[in-house]
Amino acid sequence: MDNRVVRQASLSFAGLITGQLLRFVFNIVIARMLGVEYLGLYALGLSIIQIAEVIAVLGLDAASVRMLNLHAGNRVQTARIAGMALRTSFFGSLFLCAVLVGVVSWPGSPAGNAGLLGPVIISYACSLPFHVVIAVGGHVLQAFRDIAPRILAAQVMLPCFLLALTVLIYLFTGPDIALLVPMPVAAFLSALWLAWQLRLKTGIGLRDVFNSGFDTGILRYSLPLMLVSLMGMVSHWLDILMLGWYADTRTAGLYQPAVRTAGLVRSFLVAFSASAAPLIAALHARGGVRELQHLFQAVSRWIAMTAVPASVFLFMMAGDVLAIFGPEFMQSARVLMILSFALLVQASTGMCDTMLQMCGYARISAVTVFVLLCVQVVLNLWLIPLYSMEGAAYSLCFVYLLLGAARSLQLWRYERLHMFSFPLFKPFAAGICAAGVLWLASAWLADMSSMTRLAAAAAGFLGIYLAMLNLLKLEREDVEVIFELLPFLNRRNRV
């Protein structure tokens, strides 16, 4: 098989995992320096701003990639499309920023009367226009075959600025200012750099943005994409928002490290599915059913091969992983165990959604997400008052199980395609064996300090997992994936 998917996925994953790890460290810094309450405030503020960002972007990020490629080589048209996308989303973000500030500042507003939550939302709302520039400008550069600025701005510079500014401001002022100021400043600096890159590499500047006119055709294409992204983002943050509403900021703060740590597993799905999507669309367009089935099964197997060890390890070592954030977060260990299983389900079945969208069933996919978003709301209303954080985790797990089953059945019904093959079960078998060995070694590991135990368990678990994969005789293309993701294992690279 053409290994372009693997190569592109490894590059995409490198940037994505760097950003995830930097944000993971940032969450640790907030938890350690500022405390659980401040981590909850950060999570609630971030959830509101990321949902608002999806609305402000209006789907123009993904739409601009397609439209710019349709007019590649036409300088006037590309400048007009890029300028229209940037201007529309930027002014939309200014409008949403004003709405958020007005709602929070309104007398009697629940957020405005919730201590520091109101100032956090206002401060983060001020960063919204800069996040939109990063999102849309980054996709414009991607359409010009340059994805590096988007990765650097969103996945490296922004979290690095956040981390550095938070620590510096905390040392010189205090926790309140350290929570409020870094987000808008970091977003502004990252957006400024991306705008410079946009001007430097494409020639698109402020004049193109303001003179680009208005194109309803692009909006007709982009708005359905926005609705799908919006429902996904709301589902992503729904548990945090409802915990903040029905419980308190402390509970949301305790839940945040568990759900975001488990969310690392999603990175494997995002990296592989984004790289495979164009090939899926091309194969479906020319009727290559057998090749499409093979690609679908292979990519699903590669996602499982990378997601299984991460999920199983988080499940087995949940308490020690959360102890990194502080001793008080260990009470969320059961939540992380539930969520690690939930995210494994999402990662393992997530390619079904990519297949549906690339095969022309985006509307069916959107309806499915909407229905299950409603189910998630109902489950949260029922389970959170009864079980607090664990109720939110069980709700998410059940929704991902339903979503995976629904998408698999839809794909089989409409295209007669399925993800199942005998090699798919080998990563799961290897993960179970590695988990069993780790469980047997738990008494020996118990005498170590938390960090030493975590490091020893990670090294041993990965070694056993890879050894089991080797014993199970992987497909040749699967071995190439391992060598691409872990090049130090490839003997051909050794001198």
**321-373: per-residue pLDDT in tens?**
998 888 888 889 999 999 999 999 999 998 888 888 777 776 787 788 889 88
Asked whether residue 279 is domain-assigned, the answer is yes
- Residue 153, CB half-sphere, CA atoms under 13 Å: how many? 29
pLDDT of residue 70: 66
Residue with the two structure tokens 């093959």: 421
Task: Tell me which of 180, 214, 248 is where a domain ends.
Answer: 214
Residue with the two structure tokens 């090699």: 423
Mean pLDDT of 150-166: 91
pLDDT of residue 351: 87
Query: How many domains is the chain partitioned into structurally?
Result: 2
The verdict on 55 and 111 lying in the same domain is yes
Tokens at 477, concatenated = 């293309």
Asked whether residue 319 is domain-assigned, the answer is yes
Average confidence score pLDDT of the chain: 84
Task: Tell me which of 214, 249, 272 is where a domain ends.
Answer: 214
Asked whether residue 20 is domain-assigned, the answer is no
The verdict on 317 and 427 lying in the same domain is yes
Tokens at 246, concatenated = 């029905």
The verdict on 92 and 199 lying in the same domain is yes
Asked whether residue 58 is domain-assigned, the answer is yes
The verdict on 253 and 178 lying in the same domain is no
The verdict on 145 and 239 lying in the same domain is no
**pLDDT tens-digit map of 93-104:** 999 999 999 988
Would the pTM of this model clear 0.85, i.e. be above it? no
Question: Distance (Å, rounded) from C-alpha 313 to C-alpha 306?
Answer: 12
The verdict on 153 and 238 lying in the same domain is no
Tokens at 291, concatenated = 């090749």
Tokens at 288, concatenated = 């290559």
Asked whether residue 242 is domain-assigned, the answer is yes
The verdict on 156 and 274 lying in the same domain is no
Nearest to 23 by CA among 139, 145, 156: 156
The verdict on 203 and 270 lying in the same domain is no
Q: What's the pLDDT band for 2 if we cut at 50, 70, 90?
A: very low
Q: What's the pLDDT band for 287 if we cut at 50, 70, 90?
A: confident
The verdict on 205 and 260 lying in the same domain is no
CA distances from 226 to 2, 141, 173, 184 (A): 32, 20, 40, 24
Tokens at 265, concatenated = 């597993």
The verdict on 178 and 256 lying in the same domain is no
Q: Which among 236-245, 263-272, 381-390 has the top mean pLDDT?
A: 381-390
Asked whether residue 4 is domain-assigned, the answer is no
The verdict on 192 and 268 lying in the same domain is no
The verdict on 54 and 109 lying in the same domain is yes
Domain span at residue 99 reads: 35-214
Asked whether residue 75 is domain-assigned, the answer is yes
Task: Tell me which of 214, 238, 253 is where a domain ends.
Answer: 214
Neighbours of 290 (CB within 10 A): 9
**In sequence order, what are the residues at sequence separation of 6 or more whose Cβ sits closer than 8 angstroms to the Cβ of residue 237?**
47, 50, 51
Whether the Cβ atoms of residue 399 and residue 261 lie closer than 8 Å to each other:
no
Residue with the two structure tokens 């040392």: 171
Asked whether residue 286 is domain-assigned, the answer is yes
